[in-house]
Amino acid sequence: MYIKNQFVRHQLVLHLLEQEGYETITTSSNQDEILLWRKMNRMTNIVRISLKQFDWARELDHSIEQIEKNVSKNLQLPLFQKEVNFHHVCIADYVPVDNWQQHKASNIKAIDHTYVYIWASDQDEQFARFFKNAGMKHPLSFSIPEQPMELEQHAQYLKQRIDHIDYQAKKEVADVFNKAKPILSYVLIAINIVVFVLLEWMGGSTDPDTLIKFGAKYNPAMMEGEWWRVVSSMFLHIGVFHIGLNMMALYFVGTLVERIFGNYRFIIIYFLAGISGGIASFAFNANVAAGASGALFGLFGALLLFGLKNPKIFFKTIGMNVIFLVILNIIFGFSIQQVDNGAHLGGLIGGFLAAGAVQLPSMRKSWKQILFLFGYLVYSFGLLYYGIQNDQIQYNETVQIQHIQQLIEAEQYQKVAESASQSLPHAEEYQAELLFYRSFANIQLGNYKKAEKDLEAAVEKKPRFEEALYNLALIYQQEQKLSEALEISKKLLDLDQDNSTYQSLYKELTKTTS
């Protein structure tokens, strides 16, 4: 009887694989259990075909509960499924002695319906019920050989066909994930670590000036033509936690993408995603920024494209983990102010488009590649244009004050005046400081009237602004407005009566006006 049951099981499994589009999930070591599944029209049917004999309904119930629990725990079901049904097909010598058909509904949340069928003593109506519930499109018809030897030979032949189909399916998955050895991922990790050590040695990876010097994304410099920072910033990281997290992601995600897409496709995706992420950061984030996050999110984008091209393999292997990580990182980014969401989302979209431009090794189609490349170029240049026009970001008062201080150190006073003028219309908190810096630049350029006007406006906005008051007093003194200068010197002493510079100015002005 066991050989007969095997023959029937093999016929059913082969029919599901060849005619109905099912795939094997697992087989037990003794071949008594086979799990298959099929996703169609937002409905997933999972089929368990068992040769185990159940004497009592409670044994069957316990077996069903254990199998469904294990499957729901280990199987990555596709997202947005309308219905998930579990079909338990038992091919046995006889049915349980009690009422097995009163099986209770599944208590597993992921499973909507549980169906049980027991084929025993040629009860073909059980297969008919199974085919109807599972929505099969093709009927199953076979005859069972009467001679034991012939039956065994046919069963063995069917098993070989099943094993071959299963082998080909596994080989297809293995081939997808082994297009190349992940050499370039390791090279990128090594370069990033070397650059990080150099940063720490030359001033510290958390020091803004050191980051800017080594090529971090710095909007004021990029607006002056240093667009190479979009690439160089990909190799800089801010602190040990930052590089540790990114290199871990590059080790796991980078090597996976390189295995799927191949070496040169991987490096193209990595750099194009990093560039689009850097441009997005330039467009939406005024602060100094660095890191490989844009490129890494681009690798997630490449995996999403892979999922669209190979949904069965994607969801059977890495799909749910990839989608979960993308959603988690996006939520994390919007929850923490310091995270550069522009770079993350910009890299994600850029990586998706870049992956479409290079395509998977086995799916090269020139017209699709051209379309994706065109989309990438429109997307990136659109971001760049928006970023250049986004004055609120490019003339952010905090960043511009930092930039102005660097220009003063370089004695580029004309640029100081220009930067302050461009930033003032967008300033809210630091208008007085910007006016002061512009006045300082105009003093150095000999434009004393302009400096006087800016200093007057600065102290009007910030009456206790000592540096502005002092410089204004000096200008008044130079222009022989001695009474105004004396009045300001008195204010300075009220603010800081122990300041020797203020005391000297007050004494000098008192003597001059007396």
Give the residue, 308 or 188, on which the prediction is more confident: 188
SS3 for 250? Answer: helix
Whole-number pLDDT of residue 338: 62
Q: Which fold has domain 183-393?
A: Rhomboid-like fold (1.20.1540)
Q: What is the pLDDT of residue 98?
A: 77
pLDDT band at 261 (very low <50, low <70, confident <90, very high): very high
Residue 198 confidence class, pLDDT cut points 50, 70, 90: very high
DSSP-assigned letter for residue 21: -
**pLDDT value at residue 510:** 87
Q: For residue 152, what are the contacts with CB-CB under 8 A and spacing of at least 6?
A: 3
Phi, psi of 212 (to 5 degrees): -65, -40
Q: In 310-340, which ranges are continuous DSSP H helix? A: 311-316, 319-335
Kindly tell me if the per-residue pLDDT of 294 is higher than 70: yes
- Fold (topology level) of 396-513: 1.25.40
Lowest mean pLDDT among 137-151, 308-322, 476-490, 500-514: 308-322
Q: What is the pLDDT of residue 48?
A: 94
| Torsion angle of C-alpha atoms 7, 10, 11, 16, degrees rounded to 10 | 160
- Using 50, 70 and 90 to split pLDDT, how confident is the model at 336? low
Q: Give per-residue pLDDT as tens, 207-216.
A: 988 999 999 9
Q: Which of 28-42, 149-163, 245-259, 374-388 has the highest mean pLDDT?
A: 374-388
Q: Are strands 43-50 and 33-40 parallel, antiparallel or unpaired?
A: antiparallel
DSSP secondary structure string, 485-514?
A: HHHHHHHHHHH-TT-HHHHHHHHHHHHHH-
Tell me the sheet residues that pair with 450. Answer: none
Mean pLDDT of the chain: 87
Catalytic residue IDs: 293, 344
Q: Is the pLDDT of residue 266 over 80?
A: yes
Q: Is the pLDDT of residue 320 over 90?
A: no
| Start and end residues for every CATH 1.20.1540.10 domain found in the chain | 183-393
pLDDT in tens, 469-493: 888 888 988 888 888 888 888 898 8
What confidence tens digit (pLDDT) does each residue in 398-420 have? 888 888 888 898 889 999 999 99
Tokens for 348, please give them: 């994600």
**What is the reported pLDDT for 372?**
93
- Contact at 8 Å (CB) between 472 and 488? yes
Residue 106: predicted pLDDT:
64
Other CB atoms within a 10 A radius of the CB of residue 8 amount to: 20
339-356: b (≥16 Cβ within 10 Å) or e: bbbbbbbbbbbbbbbbbb
Q: What is the mean pLDDT of residues 25-30?
A: 64
Nearby residues of 487 by Cβ (< 8 Å), 6 or more positions away: none
- What's the pLDDT tens digit per position in 143-196? 888 888 888 899 899 999 988 988 888 887 777 788 889 999 999 999 999 999
Q: What does residue 68 show for φ and ψ, rounded to 5 degrees?
A: -65, -35
Contact criterion met (CB below 8 Å) for 103 and 57: yes
Backbone angles phi, psi at 55, to 5 degrees: -80, -30
Cα separation values, 135 from 17, 116, 129, 150, Å: 15, 15, 10, 32
Whole-number Å distance between alpha carbons of 392 and 389: 9
| Stretch (H or E) spanning 59 | helix 57-74
More confident residue, 63 or 103: 63
Q: CATH 1.25.40.10: which residues of the chain?
A: 396-513
Q: Are 135 and 113 in contact (CB under 8 A)?
A: no
Contact, 44 vs 77, CB < 8 A? yes
Q: Do residues 149 and 4 lie in contact, with contact meaning Cβ atoms separated by under 8 Å?
A: no
Q: CB atoms < 10 A from the CB of 89, how many? A: 23
pLDDT greater than 60 at residue 128: yes
pLDDT digits (tens, 9 = 90+) for 42-92: 788 999 999 988 888 888 888 888 888 888 877 766 556 678 899 999 998
Averaged pLDDT for residues 96-115:
75
pLDDT at position 80 is: 60
The mean pLDDT value for 361-374 works out to: 83
- Looking at per-residue pLDDT, the higher value among 311 and 147 belongs to 147
Cα 90 to Cα 61: distance, rounded to the nearest angstrom: 12
- pLDDT reported for residue 82: 72
Predicted TM-score of the model (pTM):
0.76
Q: Tell me the chain's radius of gyration from C-alpha atoms.
A: 36
Least confident of 15-19, 224-228, 508-512: 508-512
Tell me the C-alpha distance between 355 and 372, whole Å.
Answer: 8
